[in-house]
Chain A
């Protein structure tokens, strides 16, 4: 796509966005909707919480794809993460008294187990050159099958019993800062962690030698190889990182902010892994951009609550579809995001 095309697309995207804002404005004025009341600290608090699992998975997936491996199995790994966290938290006491320590153990277990599972995915895609798209889909199907299966083995049903979730952490002094204090320093520690992670991921990717390696492995593996760096080792590291983060994302969903594992339908992950992929595409592979996009989708996810509080009545089953529609709109507008040129291509050293 030429530069002129791209500029035209950018203008189109901006135009559509501006038009949407205008239409919303007119609607607000004409129907006298209290849309301004949507923007409260509570709104942002819920959006941030809903965004946390999406952002974690997005940042993980972003590193893998930057390095040249499209980890399209995020959704499946997230199912395993959510399940593992709930099971690991439940097991020590057989559900009798699940404590905060158990929940943290669940979070750690989800991270470790998903890292191990992505290690298998990494070997199949990097060493055995499996088709990344098909293998990623397989991961999803395996998660959809074995997730509820394992839940049935553990709990006798596809969902876990209700579990407590991780307590909010109020950081002394910082929590008293207006707005920001309540959003970040009197919230789940996992939310705070994710915000910090997004910044660290940005710094690592764009300001460190490892970050350059990751980018080179996805853009120009031959050059990286010539420079004496093992391309596949960089890719393994990035895929394992994506596994750790997506496992953590699943854990956040089931015991971090949720209350156990739900295995009915497409499970409690419910497309968040796919939305995470779109989030980093929308953020143009920039960790901070991906975080921003996750926040947007998180807000969409929470619209139902907001609409109820300000008295707009739309059926929940329709409002629940907003994130998916948003994904389509986003893809139609920014679908041209340039993927790293060597994504999907296995790299063989010429020896």
Chain B
């Protein structure tokens, strides 16, 4: 997947998405639904109204952040499938920080800003630490990180649910939710009049993209990470400890995943809840990152695309009787096609549409 020019990658991304969507439409039709209505509702749900655009941008914000977290690791040759778990743990740290510090800090805008900053820091520390665990296991015990991170996803969900349900649920409440955050702890909504989307959130996501891009492309640290991913022996000869690099990569990736959790808790929820009911941003982000060829900048358009798909998919769930899970399946198909560039190269050769430059 890494042996491809930028143009080729772009073509593969477009072709993979188009093929997955086409296959999705065929499946819709084969299940006895109206495929045209399905596609037009998908588009309307993503861009059709101001509120729909806000929803798309909200989902995109989360997917861009989580996508960067995945990309940091994948680019350095480590498969962090645990972004979902780190996202859950990070958001939980934010919620605990805000709920416990709110009574001792001043209220109003100043206190709100302070709580948001502390919540974000807590999330990044927690996410980084939770991701360091599989990093340490891979570096020093040779444990396959794909499996350890997936196990840690299950464990994060279970433990956070247990703590929220047992200790943070207000007396008498029936749902496993914590108390609401104070209403001054939030991102002001500014442009769109939406309770769960703020351009500040999107701004945080884009700033993260820039920071991560600069770190990966312009600093010694980032250079070491990427070299270890592509050429471990070369990195070792230039004095980089591969074991430490694995741990550092996972920690860095987990910090971004934790930040994703903080934005989710502050901007979208405003409280914390049972993680098994959360959207699976951490998994969809894998598709986002792969589609972006694991390039932090490429994550932005890929995140917007999947944000639109997600918003459209949920709109379909509300309005048509087509099950919204279909969109999850289509995301899976995109991943499958992106994993198979050879298929498109061969198709390209057969049809004479280039692909002969290898």
Q: Which residues of A contact B (CB under 8 A)?
A: 1, 72, 124, 128-131, 133-135, 137-149, 152-153, 158, 265-266, 271, 274, 277-278, 281, 315, 317-318, 320-321, 324-325, 327-328, 331-333, 335-336
Contact = CB atoms under 8 A, between A and B. Distances in A.
A72 B165 CA distance: 33
Interface stretch (B93-101, B246-254, B321-329): B321-329
Interface string B151-176: 11011001101100110000000000
Given A142-B336, A271-B151, A315-B166, A335 B323 contact: no
Nearest to A315: B162
A274 B147 contact: yes
Interface in B236-274: none
Contact of A146 (B1, B148, B325): B325
A332 B143 contact: yes
Interface stretch (B178-186, B188-196, B208-216, B337-345): B337-345
Contacts of A318: 158-159, 162
Contact of A153 (B31, B276, B280): B31
Contacts of B339: 124, 130-131, 134-135, 138
A146 B323 CA distance: 10
Interface of B: 1, 27, 31-32, 79, 81, 137, 141-144, 146-148, 150-152, 154-155, 158-159, 161-162, 165-166, 276, 280, 283, 286-287, 290, 323, 325-333, 335-336, 338-340, 342-343, 346
A84 to B, nearest CB: 15
A349 to B, nearest CB: 16
29 contacts: A1-B142, A124-B340, A124-B343, A135-B336, A135-B340, A138-B332, A138-B335, A139-B336, A140-B332, A141-B331, A142-B329, A142-B332, A144-B280, A144-B283, A144-B329, A145-B327, A146-B325, A146-B326, A149-B329, A152-B323, A271-B154, A318-B162, A321-B159, A327-B151, A328-B152, A328-B155, A331-B148, A332-B137, A335-B141
A321 B159 CA distance: 8
Contact of A149 (B280, B323, B342): B323
A335 B147 CA distance: 11
B141 A336 contact: yes
A124 B336 contact: yes
- State the 5 A-B residue pairs at the shortest beta-carbon distance, nearest first: A145-B329, A145-B328, A141-B332, A142-B332, A335-B143
The secondary-structure label for the interface of chain B is helix
Given A148-B325, A324-B152, 5 more contacts: A138-B339, A144-B280, A320-B158, A325-B155, A335-B142
A139 B329 CA distance: 9
Contact of A328 (B137, B287, B336): B137
B141 A332 contact: yes
Nearest to A327: B151
B332 A317 contact: no
B310 to A, nearest CB: 12
A265 B333 CA distance: 20
Contacts of B79: 133
Contact of B146 (A128, A133, A143, A271): A133
B286 to A, nearest CB: 6
A131 B151 contact: no
Contacts of A336: 141-142
A267 B162 CA distance: 20
A145 B309 CA distance: 14
B162 A134 contact: no
B332 A144 contact: yes
Contacts of B287: 141
A331 B137 contact: yes
Q: Which of B155, B161, B325, B327 has the most CB of A within 10 A?
A: B325
Nearest to B335: A138
B1 A274 contact: no
A128 B340 contact: yes
A328 B151 contact: yes
B336 A335 contact: no
A277 B145 CA distance: 13
B186 to A, nearest CB: 29
Nearest to B162: A317
A169 B329 CA distance: 38
Contacts of A321: 154-155, 158-159
A138 B336 contact: yes
B323 A331 contact: no
A72 B32 CA distance: 32
